[in-house]
Chain A
Amino acid sequence: MTYSPQIGAENAVRRVVIVGGGTAGWMCAAAIGSVLSKLGLSITLVESDAIGTVGVGEATLPHIRFFNQKLGIDENALMAATQATYKLGIEFKNWGNIDESYIHPFGDFGVPINRVPFHHYITRAIQSGQNIDLDEYSLPVMAARRGKFTLPSMDMSSVMSTYGYAYQFDATLYARFLRKFSEDKGVIRQEGKVTSVAQDPESGFITSVTLESGTQIDGDIFVDCTGFRGLLIEQTLNVDFDDWSEYLPCNRAVTVGSEPIGPAGPYTRATAKSAGWQWRIPLQHRIGNGYVYASDYISDDEAAASLLEDVDGPLRGEPRHLRFKSGARKASWNKNCVAIGLSGGFLEPLESTGIYLIQEAITNFIELFPSRDCPDPERDEYNRIMDLSFERVRDFLILHYVATQRTDSAFWRYCKDMSIPDSLQHKMDLFKSSGRVVSYELGAFKFPSWLAVYYGQGIVPRNIDPVSAHMPETALPGELSRLKNMISGAVNKMPNHTDYIAENCAADPSEVM
């Protein structure tokens, strides 16, 4: 028997054209250029200075570390180049109710006892009238609250291994960093605005894009990274967009930078407001702020005024307004075009999932990197995975809005009573009954994330897991305080976040923008 399941030379992809040089475009260029370097591809990235990028996207998820590692990027160098800080989670203020706050951390709450997840013991303690603060049972939450950071331990038996981390960085600097990285790998950057797109009359495959200057760029595969425009996927191939605004009504943002006051915290803050929420993302050299709101409930001017009211330091620059829509492309890989980034779908930025979804898309696209004819099996698998990824993040985001007791504004009254997807309703009903969390293979947010938001927004299960009753009532306080002390002891020993940055990845002050 012979085995040569190779793609014949005549059917191999030779030219990849990436249209768009935002975060998505440069992440694609860097990944394809390095991971598939042996394929001898010619990779061209087209971007237009006249159009520019959205320029937001500052908070990330831990997955980004694996993306950078795979590319061989040094973490400290990257952090220094992007003014980055560490992120242990997101603080949600005023979500379940006004004056409440919780942190959704990148990490666990306790360890199972008798095969029963730890949170059932927390529920039991709450039910028996003890005053319990879930925060105290998560190392990353306590570290975030106290402004501490160090890298997690590799020793899985240590409490110091129970968390992960991500970055808070300047997205424009990240794209610039990746641009240099990509160009070093041979990616060709072409400045100019695409004004026309040619398709094969029979297959509908895209054959070339032409710039304003008249330059024509031919390709076998086209990656649409043109942002909300969807120049190829929508304007050329007419692929529909699934609009999820009814579940995620925020559709605008107004953003502004401010001078840091006090040390940068290792976490992002999302404060719920009358028509949406406001982010506060501390970087090394500035704080990013933005009010994400629903235009049905507040005007742009009111939103801008409200943003500024809640910014705590002197402003850097003028407020910028952005429009968007939450939803996903029906099939973000169509013919020989794959839409990655905002063109492929966008879920409002509450859980910092923008860059994560870009990374998912790139990883899957590379794993399924096709021959020129883009066969169905590869495309179907890619679209299946991306649909699931978007849908599962969507359900998790909706939870933040629907799990509220707020009725102080029309926006919150809408959210509290809106109808939600069956898939989410089932998850919530199951949790409310006995604290069980629906599990799945693919999807960004797993068990501890759901717990954090449920408890943080006041959804405490009516019942505990019956198996947890094996632990005698009298042993419970001891068990709980043991973990609490272990965590606070470990946090005591951690360095301050800002000291840790100063020692490992401080940005060069002369490069401050």
Chain B
Amino acid sequence: MSAAQQHIIVAAGDLSGYMAGAYLARMLPAGFKITLIRLGKLQAAELYGTAHPDIRRFNKILQINEVDFITSCNAVFRLGLTVCGFGHAPYARTFSQYGLPIDGNGFYESLLANGRSPHPADLAAYNLPAAMIAQGKFAPPADSSKPILSDFDYGYCFDPAGYADMLCKRAAKFGANVITSEDVDIDAMAGRVTLSKGQTLKADLIVDAGARQIHPDWQSWTETMPHTAYAVHRPQTDIHAKRLAPTLKASASALSLSYDLQHSSVEIKFDPSGDNEFQTGRCRVPWTGNVLRLGQSAMTILPLEANLTQIAQIDIERLIELFPPDLGAPIEREEYNRRTSDFYDRMRDFVLLHLKTAKTGGAMWDKARNLKLPKEAGYKLSLFSARGRIAVLDEETTLKDSWHAMLLGHNIVPERAGAMAMNVTPAQLESNLTRLSKFISRAVDAMPSHDDFIARHCPASKRTHE
């Protein structure tokens, strides 16, 4: 490592930048100077308001206390995602799995071999968090390894603006210089960032997280994800029976994602007349020279897994995992780009397969279904349609069970999946299902309602969020 101090500037337009600023300040040792620039109003805020369980690890590293997080961010607990309008019935994708293997055979295969419905809508009784979502009950997973009771995980729906404020404080505590600028001008060649008041900063690495710079190497996905704008509504201010999962909804005329917070709810509607511009695609090379693109600058994708926060976190952790000893000519950058590109393409595949397999009526969806799938996505779909098997590719982060639930939930029924599970007899299956659903319903009965749990442990004060 060179003796001179290295300077990293994070231009934070969207939440990913705030996350990066705090995390880099925490992880990089003395010898690195971090400047976190808050770029005016938080961009694309609502798109980031749904977090996967990974965020708890992130907060732990940043020494963010859970109750502080929840109360400062008006947060509620999240156990998965409710998906409506894509198949014949709404279903849940959870941070856990449906059913248990039966005598070494896969759960879905065992159902199929016995002519039973594998549609996740019919299986909520066999997935603890799905049952909790259905009944609005919540309790955290058991700490010791108890089967089922400790086998699920939770994230949050939260207010990204509140989180951004917390992250700035964390960043400052870990030694970052936090400043504000309405916008910035990035001169990549010179490694220079000019603030709106004209001041210029030199950096060894510039993290562009939603700085709205023009990217010459942008690969557009608008052909296959033709949603060019979205609108945000906040329909309610006081929420009772707060949902434990955001709702993704497809209807003939619209696609929307909505979720509850403690004292408000949010609806994001993808609609050409919305006032937030939205151009899907990704940077071909996310890290070029000394500029690394993160968040919306690196990839803009339909949030059909409601995981933009997770995507940002994975990128930031990967950056630290590979942080180059010398920012000059790093092979680490090449590796970051290789892995990140694959990661983005796998996320893209997951989103495109939603569109390809949606059973939703309407001209908009007819058009979407006609899209030409990229090679890997087509491969995944054809293997699943044939065998009910998910091809495991490198850099994939989507849980296998989410893939299963998604494709089965959209009524893709594998042609030959049951062969392996011929061993499972109807009686064996029946007794297994009965035992499991009894266990789960007893566990859920014993849990408090989501509202009560929050009221008891982590109520957010109402005033701060109006």
Contacts and interface: CB of A to CB of B under 8 A. Distances in A.
Interface string A409-449: 00000000000000000100110011010101110000000
B419 A436 contact: no
B419 A369 contact: yes
Contact of A466 (B61, B323, B415, B422): B323
B31 interface: yes
A120 to B, nearest CB: 11
A367 interface: yes
Interface in A364-382: 366-371, 375, 377-378, 380-381
Given A377-B387, A467-B323, A426 B334 contact: yes
B56 interface: no
Contact of A2 (B29, B115, B320, B335): B115
Contact of A441 (B27, B32, B115, B392): B392
B252 interface: no
A38 B422 contact: yes
Contact of B31 (A4, A378, A464, A469): A469
A3 B383 CA distance: 18
A317 interface: no
B331 interface: yes
Interface string A35-66: 01111000000000000000000000000000
A440 B339 CA distance: 10
A438 B339 CA distance: 10
A504 B111 CA distance: 42
Given A367-B420, A368-B387, A470-B29, A5 B332 contact: no
Nearest to A381: B383
Nearest to A384: B391
A363 B158 CA distance: 44
Contacts of B118: 3
A7 interface: yes
Contacts of B389: 367-368, 381
Contact of A442 (B29, B115, B392): B392
A368 B385 CA distance: 13
Interface in B104-131: 104, 111-113, 115-119
A37 B420 CA distance: 10
Nearest to B334: A426
B189 interface: no
B91 to A, nearest CB: 14
Nearest to B321: A436
Contact of B115 (A3, A368, A430, A465): A3
Contacts of B414: 5
A70 B28 CA distance: 46
B417 A5 contact: yes
A6 interface: yes
Interface in B334-353: 334-335
Contact of A3 (B116, B320, B321, B379): B116
B420 A433 contact: no
Contact of A465 (B31, B323, B335): B323
B143 interface: no
A469 B3 CA distance: 13
Contacts of B30: 469
Contacts of B387: 368, 377-378, 381
A371 B419 CA distance: 9
A466 B31 contact: yes
B291 to A, nearest CB: 20
A366 B106 CA distance: 14
B332 A433 contact: yes
Contacts of B335: 426, 430, 436, 438
User: Chain B binding site: helix, strand, loop or mixed by DSSP?
Assistant: loop
Contacts of A429: 331
B331 A5 contact: no
A195 interface: no
A3 B394 contact: no
A153 interface: no
Interface string B355-396: 000000000000000000000000100110111110111101
A469 B422 CA distance: 56
A470 B332 CA distance: 20
Given A2-B115, A3-B115, A440 B394 contact: yes
B320 to A, nearest CB: 6
A38 B116 CA distance: 20
Given A3-B118, A426-B334, A466 B32 contact: yes
B325 A463 contact: yes
Contacts of B115: 2-4
A301 B413 CA distance: 62
Contacts of B396: 441
B422 A467 contact: no
A5 B119 CA distance: 14
Given A441-B393, A463-B325, A378 B29 contact: no
A3 B325 contact: no
Interface string A341-371: 0000000000000000000000000111111
Interface in A273-287: none
A77 to B, nearest CB: 21
Contact of B320 (A368, A369, A370, A467): A467
Interface string A131-150: 00000000000000000000
Given A1-B117, A436-B321, A441 B394 contact: yes
A375 B386 contact: yes
B101 interface: no
A249 B387 CA distance: 40
A377 B383 contact: yes
Contact of B326 (A426, A436, A463, A465): A463
Nearest to B392: A441
A6 B415 CA distance: 7
B215 interface: no
Interface in A441-463: 441-442, 462-463
A466 B320 CA distance: 9
A513 B148 CA distance: 51
Contact of B386 (A378, A438, A470): A378
A5 B323 contact: no
Nearest to A6: B418
B330 interface: yes
B416 interface: yes
Contact of B413 (A5, A36, A378, A463): A5
Contact of B112 (A5, A371, A434): A5
Given A3-B112, A5-B418, A429-B331, A434 B391 contact: no
B324 interface: yes
Given A5-B414, A381-B383, A433-B330, A369 B420 contact: yes
Given A1-B117, A377-B386, A371 B323 contact: no
A425 to B, nearest CB: 10
Interface of A: 1-7, 36-39, 70, 115, 366-371, 375, 377-378, 380-381, 384, 426, 429-430, 433-434, 436, 438, 440-442, 462-467, 469-470
6 contacts: A3-B116, A4-B115, A38-B422, A39-B422, A115-B61, A466-B323
